[in-house]
Chains A and B, each alone.
Chain A
Amino acid sequence: MSGAAKNLIYPILGAAAFILLWLIAAAAIGAEIILPAPDRAAVALFELLKSGAFWVDLAGTLDRSLKSFFLSFLLALALAAASALSRPLRRFLSPWIVILRSVPTISVILISLLWLKSSLAPIFIAFLITFPNMYSAIYGAIEGVDPGLVEMSRLYKVRRRDMVTRLYIPSILPAVFTSARSNISLNLKIIIASEVLAQTRESVGMAMQLSKIYLDTPMLMAWTAAAIVLAALLELAVEGVKRAVIRWKA
């Protein structure tokens, strides 16, 4: 068996086992309203893909998810870099990060719903949850740059801008991409959950909520599958950029 085939066979077997388990559970329960069979969910997904509303809802959620992600990512990057340069700033930010990391997610959601309109609340909620994760990961990566290389650079009197572009940025990129990859899908999950609670128009969350209200469980499963595929595509996009940028580890 070739290497590529070996890499594929186990994920395929894993997915097949999941569907089989789903099939057995659906047959055992025998009530579509509680757990529809996979083929019913597949039919519902197919119908969904043909409808124009699906793409509008999906685009709305994707738009909010990307806005929130890039807001978190860029602010985390800028503040982590500034914190690495300034100890007072790092100390100033530390209670903010601790609070944001430990505050219960549901509190963030409920408070944000009171403050903001339904289209903005999901963006703000996902930002508040993913920002401290990314800040900590990027700051940790900057602090983790090999001190031996920093010392070597100082000895050779390398200019600060050359140190930043040729030592610091390439050194932190692997950790930045790892953090971006896990947070981009987490971000999408939070956006959808917030859309459900905020009843955001033109959103996956709202479509899921309507499926639940109409007791259309196959449709709910179809939306879930669509969200999973979207999260996987976002993670793949980050991985693609990572591979294009980090060539020295290829």
Chain B
Amino acid sequence: MEGVTLKGVSKSYGGLSVLQGLDMEFEGGRISCILGPSGAGKTTILNIICGMTDYLGTVSRGGGAVSYIYQDERLIESLTVYGNLEYVLLAVEKDGQKRRQAIEHILETVELSQKSNSYPRQLSGGMRQRVSMARAFVYPSALLLMDEPFRSLDIALKKRMTEAFLKLWEADRRTVIFVTHDIDEALLLSDAIYVIKGVPAKICGRFEVSEPQRERDLASDGLLRLRKQVYRALTE
């Protein structure tokens, strides 16, 4: 799986510089996190990586396809759950039978098979987010970007969503870069965490989490220690 490297990346909105000469490296096949407060330019970094906004500097990635789990799901209300997934596959999987199999399999994994023919407005917030996740994973990308995918979900739902995400990710271990302002979310999911803050954003720390995701316990000594370090980097 391809990694992503940012070298000297800068970005301004009007006269305001939000990123200035940023260097970052995200290893292939791992889950990396950009942790920082709101307004620190986290979403801008994701948009730069996927080429959705202009910038100065260099971004190197293999050039493979990218999928994206947005904060606001971005589902097409006139298409069913199945239709929303099929929408992104039409150009890449011409064989209708294979397309159907891939969609049915992913919907089963995220426990939404029963909702295949429902329209987005008939789903709860958590279900909509799972459809967005299923769409990102059913699309054959080398890189997955996620913008605060578990924001505004209650703890129980967040746990189920995290499990669903890991189940999907473990199947092909594509490169994942996600942004969040939630330390616990970063500690539970990431292999590497970049902490950024300030305007323009500066990297205040880079941390590694070595334990496999499924064995992590936020109450363990190791993660509690790491949490303190990350918290310090974020607040000092």
- Physical interaction between A and B: yes
Kindly name the residue among A152, A154, A166 whose own CB sees the greatest number of chain B CB atoms within 10 A.
A152
Q: Which residue of A lies closest to B51 (CB)?
A: A155
- Provided the pairs A155-B50, A167-B76 are in contact, do residues A162 and B90 lie with their beta carbons within 8 angstroms? yes
A175 nearest CB across to chain B (Å): 13
Which B57-94 residues have a C-beta within 8 angstroms of A? Answer: 65-68, 70, 72, 74, 76-79, 83, 87-88, 90-92
B178 to chain A, nearest CB (A): 15
**How many residue pairs at the A-B interface have CB separations less than 8 Å?**
54
Any A CB within 8 A of the CB of B52: yes
Cβ-closest chain B residue relative to A170:
B78
Instruction: Please determine whether A158 and B88 come into contact, CB atoms closer than 8 angstroms.
Output: yes
Q: Are A248 and B65 in contact (CB under 8 A)?
A: no
Does any Cβ of B come within 8 Å of A171's Cβ? yes
Chain A interface bracket (under 10, 10 to 19, 20 to 34, 35 or more): 20 to 34
Contact (Cβ within 8 A) B77 A162: no
Please, how many residues of chain B have a CB less than 8 angstroms from a CB on the other chain?
Answer: 22
Shortest distance from the beta carbon of A110 to any chain B beta carbon, whole Å:
45
B26 beta carbon closer than 8 Å to chain A: no
Residues of A within 8 A of B88 (CB): 156, 158
CB 8 Å contact bits of A143-155 with B (1 = contact, 0 = none):
0001011011111
Please tell me which one of the listed residues B52, B83, B90, B119 contacts residue A155 in the complex, with CB atoms under 8 A apart. Answer: B52
| 19 A-B pairs (CB sep. < 8 Å) | A148-B70, A149-B76, A152-B70, A153-B87, A154-B52, A155-B66, A155-B67, A156-B87, A157-B92, A158-B87, A158-B90, A159-B91, A166-B76, A166-B83, A167-B76, A170-B76, A171-B78, A248-B78, A249-B121
Report B's interface with A, CB cutoff 8 A. 50, 52, 65-68, 70, 72, 74, 76-79, 83, 87-88, 90-92, 119, 121, 139
Which A residues are within 8 Å of any B CB, using their own CB? 146, 148-149, 151-159, 162, 166-167, 170-171, 173, 246, 248-249
